[in-house]
């Protein structure tokens, strides 16, 4: 790297702290300042030796700052990013990048107009569980994949902050949904042809507090994304099936396995088994005579280092951004189709690649 770049963080809450603490381990970036509307957040920043500003104008006027990281509630990402580009700063926005695709387009136009680097913190592309499934998919380990199920489930409802309110960009589609849609599009390099959602409002009528979203890809692959904040028992994080195997990841610790048929034995006829009040051959479990169990691949990632290294390399013109503008735009377009699907209570035909 040519120098150590100085970061100014706008919004020093959960994720603002994440960016500060995690970049402390890197020698090519250093957090120097914070702007937050909350006095408590500013006091915490000052205590840690950062400059703590109470207005946007002050942090943007600080010539020391090269990179602005925006980690506020969602409705401020667009206006703050545009002001930062105008002030000559490079910008990393937390996800969701914006409230809609029109806002994102204005952010991209402003970044281009001022020749600034602009990226979105789609950090869940570095999740170990996601990387394992992506490797299985990329290596064609399961043959032709026809079903992918990606779930995150909890029982604590939406946290009692801005995430509960529409005007701040609350709700689970804009929260976890955006991460999981981004993973789906990053993994399956096909056109999305159909979007269908069922949203949940278990404890919140204003925004969705969970959903089941079906994305259909051009090959017919159906990708289910399910988020719940009212599930006291969770379903597995991942379940993926192809015509020659299935893989499962149970949890964040990446416990799971791959089961594949033994070539030549896959069509061994089953004896009917007692199942509930009847018999079944179709659903009879398989044994060792016709399947093998494989361990999941082991993957170790370093999101903060990889992400910031790439961002700074893009500033220096040495690398393309990993998280590209057209990729975040696709996520916004899918998100908009999701809201249309909810309003129209039907599936939405799309042509998004
Ligand atoms: P948070 O509520 O913990 O923190 C937000 C901070 O922004 C608070 O300190 C608040 O005082 C400050 N703030 C509010 N309005 C402001 C304004 N107008 N100007 C300046 N500061 C303001 O929220 P969070 O969980 O840190 O989420 C922040 C952003 O990060 C959101 O966009 C969220 O979607 C995203 N996020 C991303 C991840 C991830 O893994 N990438 C995880 C959590 C949150």
pLDDT tens digits for range 48-97: 999 999 999 999 999 999 999 999 999 999 999 999 999 999 999 999 99
- Kindly report, residue by residue over 152-210, the tens digit of the pLDDT: 999 999 988 999 999 999 999 999 999 999 999 999 999 999 999 999 999 999 999 99
Average model confidence (pLDDT) across the chain: 96
Closest to 159 measured CA to CA, from 170, 169, 150: 170
Count other C-beta atoms under 10 Å from residue 156's C-beta. 8
**High-pLDDT (> 90) share of the chain, %:** 94
Q: How far is the CA of 192 from the centre of ligand 1 (A)?
A: 30
For range 126-141, the mean pLDDT = 98
**pLDDT at residue 352 tops 80:** yes
Q: What is the pLDDT of residue 263?
A: 81
User: What is the rounded distance in angstroms from the CA atom of residue 101 to the CA atom of residue 330?
Assistant: 9
CA 123 to chain centroid, in Å, comes to 7
Of 86, 156, 141, nearest to 118 (Cα)?
Answer: 86
* pLDDT confidence of residue 287: 82
Tell me which residue has its CA closest to atom 25 in ligand 1.
14
Chain CA centroid to CA 144, Å: 24
**Per-residue model confidence (pLDDT) at position 238:** 99
Cα→Cα distances 194→211, 218, 228, Å: 16, 9, 22
Q: With 90 as the cut, is the pLDDT of residue 131 above it?
A: yes
Q: Which residues are near ligand 1 (CB < 6 Å)?
A: 10-16, 35-38, 41, 71-74, 76, 94-95, 121, 123, 161, 175
Position 47 scores a pLDDT of 98
Residue 148's pLDDT band, with cuts at 50, 70 and 90, is very high
Whole-prediction pTM value? 0.97
Mean pLDDT of 112-127: 98
SS3 244: coil
Q: Virtual CA dihedral for 95, 118, 77, 73, nearest 10 degrees?
A: 40
Cα 6 to averaged position of ligand 1 atoms, centre (Å): 20
Q: How far apart are the first and last CA of the chain?
A: 34
CA distance 10 to 36: 6
* Interval between CA 271 and ligand 1 midpoint (Å): 57
pLDDT of 256-286, one tens digit each?
A: 999 999 987 777 788 899 999 999 999 999 8
| Test site for ligand 1: of 14, 38, 307, most ligand atoms within 8 A of the Cβ | 14
């Amino acid at each position: 790297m040519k120098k150590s770049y100085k970061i100014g963080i706008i919004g020093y809450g959960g994720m603002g702290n994440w960016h500060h603490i995690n970049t402390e381990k890197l020698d090519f970036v250093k957090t120097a300042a914070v702007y937050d509307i909350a006095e408590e957040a500013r006091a915490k920043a000052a205590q840690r030796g950062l400059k703590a500003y109470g207005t946007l104008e002050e942090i943007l006027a600080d010539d020391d700052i090269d990179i602005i990281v925006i980690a506020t509630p969602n409705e401020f990402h667009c206006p703050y990013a545009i002001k930062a580009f105008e002030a000559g700063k490079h910008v990393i926005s937390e996800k969701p990048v914006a409230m809609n695709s029109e806002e994102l387009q204005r952010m991209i136009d402003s970044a281009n107009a001022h020749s600034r680097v602009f990226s979105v913190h789609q950090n869940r592309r570095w999740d170990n569980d996601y990387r394992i499934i992506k490797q299985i998919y990329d290596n064609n380990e399961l043959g032709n994949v026809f079903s992918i199920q990606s779930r995150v489930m909890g029982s604590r409802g939406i946290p009692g902050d801005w995430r509960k309110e529409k005007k701040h960009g609350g709700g689970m589609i804009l929260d976890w949904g955006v991460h999981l849609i981004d993973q789906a599009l990053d993994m399956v390099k096909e056109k999305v042809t159909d979007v269908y959602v069922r949203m949940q409002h278990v404890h919140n009528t204003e925004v969705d507090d969970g959903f089941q979203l079906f994305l259909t890809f051009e090959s017919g692959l159906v990708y289910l994304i399910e988020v719940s904040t009212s599930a006291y028992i969770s379903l597995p994080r991942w379940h993926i099936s192809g015509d020659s195997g299935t893989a499962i990841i149970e949890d964040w610790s990446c416990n799971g396995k791959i089961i594949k048929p033994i070539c030549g034995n896959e069509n061994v006829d089953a004896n009917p088994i007692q199942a509930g009040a009847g018999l079944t051959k179709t659903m009879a479990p398989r044994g060792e005579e016709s399947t093998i169990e494989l361990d999941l691949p082991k993957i170790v990632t370093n999101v903060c280092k990889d992400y910031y290294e790439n961002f700074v390399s893009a500033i220096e013109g040495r690398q393309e951004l990993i998280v590209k503008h057209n990729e975040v735009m696709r996520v916004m377009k899918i998100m908009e189709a999701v809201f249309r699907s909810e309003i129209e209570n039907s599936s939405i035909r799309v042509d998004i690649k």
